[in-house]
């Protein structure tokens, strides 16, 4: 059983219905807005896979993007203490790379961030039931942080089921769903499913739709770009209040 004894801290845990939904973009955008309000913001991606191998070791593109969003001077090893090269669930990475997830590093660096920052934005890996290590999935990790959860969802057909299941799993774990962000909405190509998804999710999850973020070709995690379209879509939400 996982027991990291993490401190209580004002913050948000950004999760998603799946991988590739855009939770890094949303986490970075929220962090940017909070930084612009004058807060000392910590960004934290405890575990990442599919990292790039550089001259000084593995580097997470997500961690680099999050650092850019808050003009952070900390090394990416602080933002992302556990990194794997294999593009797979961490439990697979452990076997392929013969290295178990270092939960002690996850805990100790988070404690340090909590001491230095006003608020911390934590980003998960994949969806909430992604296995991390033996007997530990993302939900177990979320319980340790005990932060309000923001669920990032696609706008496409099929997302309602994925989002409802995600919200149900989070609540069943005794955690609070602060709300949902629908990411990548394209008005030019939207059909009935995309046009109604926000209203259906609002009613069926009984959680607020915090933002509907349009598709923005000028924003890219891979290229370290956070455009005004994303920020404008996120700026109407009081993220600091949601963080507790």
What does the alpha-carbon distance between residue 52 and residue 57 come to, in Å, rounded to a whole number? 8
Q: Tokens for 108, please give them.
A: 């100790």
Catalytic residue status for 45: yes
Dihedral sign of CA atoms 195, 207, 229, 215 in order: negative
Q: Which residues contact 118 (CB under 8 A, 6 or more apart)?
A: 10, 39, 40, 41
Identify the CA nearest to 180 among candidates 216, 149, 157: 149
Q: Tokens for 55, please give them.
A: 């001259």
Residue in 8, 10, 23, 45 annotated catalytic: 45
What does the alpha-carbon distance between residue 240 and residue 244 come to, in Å, rounded to a whole number? 7
Q: Among all residues, which ones are annotated catalytic? A: 45
């Amino acid at each position: 059983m996982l027991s990291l004894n993490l401190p209580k801290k004002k913050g948000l845990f950004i999760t998603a219905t799946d991988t590739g939904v855009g939770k890094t973009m949303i986490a970075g955008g929220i962090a940017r807005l909070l930084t612009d309000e004058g807060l000392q913001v910590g960004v934290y991606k405890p575990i990442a896979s599919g990292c790039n191998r550089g001259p000084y070791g593995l580097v997470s593109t997500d961690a680099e993007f999050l650092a850019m969003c808050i003009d952070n001077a900390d090394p990416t090893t602080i933002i992302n203490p556990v990194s794997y090269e294999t593009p797979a669930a961490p439990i697979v990475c452990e076997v392929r790379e013969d290295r178990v997830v270092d939960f002690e590093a996850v805990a100790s660096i988070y404690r340090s961030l909590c001491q230095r920052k006003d608020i911390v934005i934590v980003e998960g890996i994949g969806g909430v039931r992604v296995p991390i290590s033996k007997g530990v999935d993302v939900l177990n990790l979320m319980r340790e942080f005990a932060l309000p959860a923001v669920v990032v969802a696609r706008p496409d057909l099929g997302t309602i089921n994925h989002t409802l299941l995600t919200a149900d799993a989070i609540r069943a774990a005794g955690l609070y769903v602060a709300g949902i962000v629908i990411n990548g909405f394209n008005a030019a190509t939207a059909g009935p499913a995309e046009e109604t998804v926000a209203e259906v999710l609002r009613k069926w999850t009984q959680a607020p739709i915090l933002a509907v973020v349009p598709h923005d070709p000028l924003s890219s995690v891979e290229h370290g770009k956070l455009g005004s379209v994303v920020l404008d879509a996120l700026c109407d939400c009081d993220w600091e209040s949601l963080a507790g």
